[in-house]
Amino acid sequence: MKLKDIVVFLSMFIVIFVICLFLPQEIPIHFNAQGEADIIVNKYFLFIGTMIPYSAYWQFFRKENGKTD
């Protein structure tokens, strides 16, 4: 893994950590047809979401220079 990849992942992780500081302890992530929250999670559940933008970075913006890991 390259240093650039680690820096990108850590920067995404830090941004989510700062956002979590301002959120309430529990946040709704899904609403039913009546507009009521039916799935409520702890705010630190968002750290799992760090993998989603990082995987997009890995797929589309990472340059290999002809090498395989």
Q: At a CB cut-off of 8 Å and minimum separation 6, what does 31 contact?
A: 37, 38
Whether residue 66 lies inside any domain: the answer is: no
Domain extent at residue 13: 9-60
pLDDT tens track for 4-60? 778 888 888 899 899 999 999 999 989 999 999 999 999 988 888 777 777 777 777
Whether residue 1 lies inside any domain: the answer is: no
Whether residue 22 lies inside any domain: the answer is: yes
Whether residue 3 lies inside any domain: the answer is: no
The number of distinct structural domains making up the chain is 1
Instruction: With 0.85 as the threshold, say if the pTM is over it.
Output: no
Whether residue 32 lies inside any domain: the answer is: yes
Instruction: Between 3 and 42, name the one with better pLDDT.
Output: 42
Whether residue 14 lies inside any domain: the answer is: yes
Number of H helices, E strands in the chain: 2, 2
Alpha helices in the chain (DSSP H): 3-22, 51-60
**Which tokens is 13 given?**
């992780």
Q: Evaluate whether 20 touches 46 at the Cβ level (below 8 Å).
A: yes
Cα separation of 51 and 30, whole Å? Answer: 19
